[in-house]
Structure formats: structure tokens, C-alpha cells
Amino acid sequence: MYARCGRPEDAYRVFDGMQHRDVVSWNAMISGFARAGLFERAVEVFKEFVALQCSIPDAGTMASILPATGNAKAEDILFVRKAFDEMQFKELISWNAMLAIYGYHVKAVELFLRMEKDGIGVKPDSVTLATILPPCGELSAFSVGKRIHENIKRKMMLPNLLLENALLDMCANCGCLKDAWEVFDSMSARDVISWTSIISADGKHGHGREAVDPFEKMLGQDPEPDSIAFVAVLAACSHAGLLDVGKCYFGSMTSRYHIAPKAEHYICMVDLLGRAGCISEAYDFITTMPIEPNERVWGALLQACRIHSSMDIGVVAADSLFRLVPEQTGYYVLLSNMYARAGRWADVTSVRSVMANKGIKKLPGASIVELGDRLHTFHIGDRYHPQSEMIYQKLDELLGRIRGMGYNPEVEATLHNG
């Protein structure tokens, strides 16, 4: 009662005074702290429960700890996974909770594949599949997502708006626009998430003009576009260079739909203006914004300044970023590249010296490749993969062939004083 009324400390006083606690007591206390946003306290009680071994964690325990894990440290998630692995009987809700705890991490996909094998008598339901499809999309694990889609059709689980939106999102994030449109066109009902997903899918994969079409169809219908739908279409306009269309949509947000622009909309507009080469207009737009410009607003401007070699405004953007996020590597690298492109090598040396003095290092990017049931991770120049020699031989062969077809690599990010 105390926990559900938002008074977890009072609940804990009752809990602490109990001579005997069963799994229901522990679950109620974990859930009470998590529901109140006291995530560290929830994890502490969970760890105490597991350590004392006074009862066995059950599906309710997993569901109770779930809200706390979105803010939990990596070692806390490892602890929860250890407790999950030690559970003798894993009900479907426990599997679903553990998948949700992992979020978009590769471990979610690995756990799901294990569930097809180890979950004796447990069959994935619509919640399971809607939970695992987004990480499949985020990790480009399309073959796993495709198998899930086939399983959904075989079991005749459609129509199901939750599943269809998850399928649409997965196909879009894997770059499979044809499949995404097939899902969208086959839907008997669509909500604002469905429309936003297909708009975003076209936009993020370079089909900005095509993204405008579903947005136009959405206008005047039920549901009307919401704040997130406008982010999707503004981003699509930015990628396609549709400056006037983007400006029109931004204006209609407030005039027609009475949606107050948020930071994400301002970021899109700065990016739209910047990509179009309107650097001064983008800077003026930032200075007249009714909200304080954040890191991503200045970052969009700095990126545009790098593309269009606008040094003066670029330095202003970089200076604002260094005040907001002094340890963010990427912005130092962007500024260094701008100076290098302009041949200002003394300034390049100065930026790199600041990075060295602050102990800032450029973190390598990573690529993930799906093969069979495994996801392989690669960093630039690494030799850790057991088949690295064969991989580099094939890469050299491919690079030779595409150079012969006229390919010239983009080397701006690796400029140096020659």
C-alpha cells in the first residue's frame, strides 16, 4: 500500500520490521523503489534478496527490477543476468523482462536465440517479438528479424499494431526499404508511430523527397502528425536539401498544429540550413531561438561549417561546444579537420595539444556484421578476428576493383600536414 501510494521509505520501514519475508514481499519492495525512481535502492534490495537466498527470484522479481535497469550500471545488469541464469524455472515473463533489460544491446539478440533452444515449453509471444525486433534493427541483424517476421506470419499473429510497428522499425533500420513499405502497405490500421516510421525510413536512407509523400497523406487525417512526426519529416527535408519545404513544415507546426518546437526540431532546422549552405542564417536562427541551444544544435552548425569551410562561425560553434561538453572528442576532431582543410597547421597542432593535455583520445568507430546466428564486431585496423587475414585480403581485392571503377576515397577526416 505504501509503495503504491508513492511512499517507498514508509514501505521500507514496514519491510525492514518483518520477521519473515517471502518472494512477494521482496518483489513489492523492489518494485516500490523502482516505481518511485529510486533505481539504486531497487537494485540494492534486489542484490540483498539474491545474496540472502531466503526465497527464489521469480517472474515477478524480474518484472519488478525491469524499470530500474534502464539507469543501472553494466555490473548491475550482469548481476541481474546471473540471477536470471540461476532461476530453475524461467517463465515467459522472465525471458521478456531480461530481453527488455538488455535493450538494444547485442546480448538481447543472443539471449533471444538461446530462448529458441533453451526455453523448454516457453513460446515467444507478441510482447517477446515486439521487444526483440527493435534491437535486431539497431544491430542490422536482418536475418534474425526476417525469421521472426516469417514466424509471425506462420502463426498468423497479424494484424497486431504493436508487432507491425516493430517489424516496420526493424526493416527500416536494417536499410530494407522495400520490406518496410510492404509491411506498411499491408497494415489494416496505422497510428502515428506507423506513419512516422515510414517517413523516417525514407528520410534516413536518402529518399527525402519520397518521405514527404506519406507525410502529406498523413496531413488532415486521423491521426494528425505529432511532435516526433515533424522531427522525422524535417530530418528528411534536411537530407534531401528541401530547404523551402522544410521551412514551410516548421512554420506549420505552430501555426496549424499548435505544437511548440523542441530542441530536436531546432536541431533539424539548423542542420537543414547548414546543409543548404545557409551558414549565417543558421547561426542567426540559433541566436534567436527561444530555448537555450544545446550540444546537438551547436554540433549541427559545426558540422555544416566543416562541409562549407565556414571558419569564422565554425570557431564560434566549437567554442560553445567546448564550454558545454569539454570532454567530447568528436568536436575537437571536427575543428582540427576544419583547420587542416584550410591549411592552418599551427591551429591543428594547437587543438591536438589541447586534446593531449586533457587526456582526450579519439575513440574508434565500430562496424557490426551479421553472419548466420552470430554478430561480428570490427574496429578500424584491428586484427582480433580469427579470420582477419582473409578479411583484409578480400578488402584489398574489393578496394582495388572499386578504385578501377573510379572510386576516390574521402580523406578529409585524415588530413595531415604534408
**Does the pLDDT at position 274 exceed 90?**
yes
Taking the CA atoms of 118, 119, 121 and 124 in sequence, report the sign of the dihedral they define. negative
**Does the pLDDT at position 174 exceed 70?**
yes
Q: Which three cell numbers stand for residue 88?
A: 530453475
pLDDT for the residue 409: 66
Averaged pLDDT score across all residues of the chain: 89
Q: Mind listing the pLDDT tens digit for each residue in 350-367?
A: 888 887 887 776 666 778
- Percent of the chain at pLDDT > 70 equals 95
pTM for this one? Answer: 0.77
**Does the pLDDT at position 412 exceed 70?**
no
Residues 224-263 as b or e (16 or more Cβ within 10 Å = b): ebebebbbbbbbbbbbbebbebbeebbeebeeeeebebee
Using pLDDT thresholds of 50, 70 and 90, give the confidence band for residue 41.
Answer: very high
Instruction: Tell me the CA distances in angstroms from 229 to 246, 265, 276, 388, one per residue in order.
Output: 13, 10, 22, 43
pLDDT for the residue 418: 45
Q: Backbone dihedral region of 366: left (phi > 0), alpha (psi from -120 to 50 degrees) or beta?
A: beta
Q: Mind listing the pLDDT tens digit for each residue in 296-347?
A: 999 999 999 988 989 899 999 998 988 898 878 888 888 888 888 778 888 8
Listed as own residue / partner, the contacts of 407-416 with beta carbons closer than 8 Å and 24 or more positions apart are 412/337, 412/341, 413/333, 413/337, 415/337, 415/340, 415/341, 416/340
Taking the CA atoms of 54, 55, 56 and 59 in sequence, report the sign of the dihedral they define. negative
pLDDT for the residue 53: 78
Taking the CA atoms of 221, 218, 167 and 111 in sequence, report the sign of the dihedral they define. negative
Closest CA to 209 of 237, 235, 187: 237
Residue by residue, DSSP assigns 202-227 as HHHTT-HHHHHHHHHHHTTSSSPP-H
pLDDT for the residue 278: 96
What's the CA gap between 238 and 271, in Å, rounded? 6
* Stretch 132-142: mean pLDDT: 92
Q: What are the extents of the domains in the chain?
A: 190-260
pLDDT for the residue 398: 92
Closest CA to 228 of 203, 204, 262, 205: 262
pLDDT for the residue 119: 64
What's the CA gap between 309 and 91, in Å, rounded? 58
Q: Mind listing the pLDDT tens digit for each residue in 179-197?
A: 999 999 999 999 999 999 9
* Stretch 263-267: mean pLDDT: 96
**Does the pLDDT at position 413 exceed 50?**
no
Closest CA to 231 of 278, 296, 280: 296
What's the CA gap between 72 and 14, in Å, rounded? 26
CB distance 257 to 283 below 8 Å: no
Q: Mind listing the pLDDT tens digit for each residue in 224-245?
A: 899 999 999 999 999 899 999 9
Q: Mind listing the pLDDT tens digit for each residue in 148-158?
A: 999 999 999 99
Q: Mind listing the pLDDT tens digit for each residue in 44-81?
A: 999 999 998 777 889 999 999 999 988 788 899 999 99
Task: Count CB neighbours of 308 within 10 A.
Answer: 16
Using pLDDT thresholds of 50, 70 and 90, give the confidence band for residue 415.
Answer: very low
pLDDT for the residue 410: 58
* Stretch 135-154: mean pLDDT: 92
pLDDT for the residue 363: 64
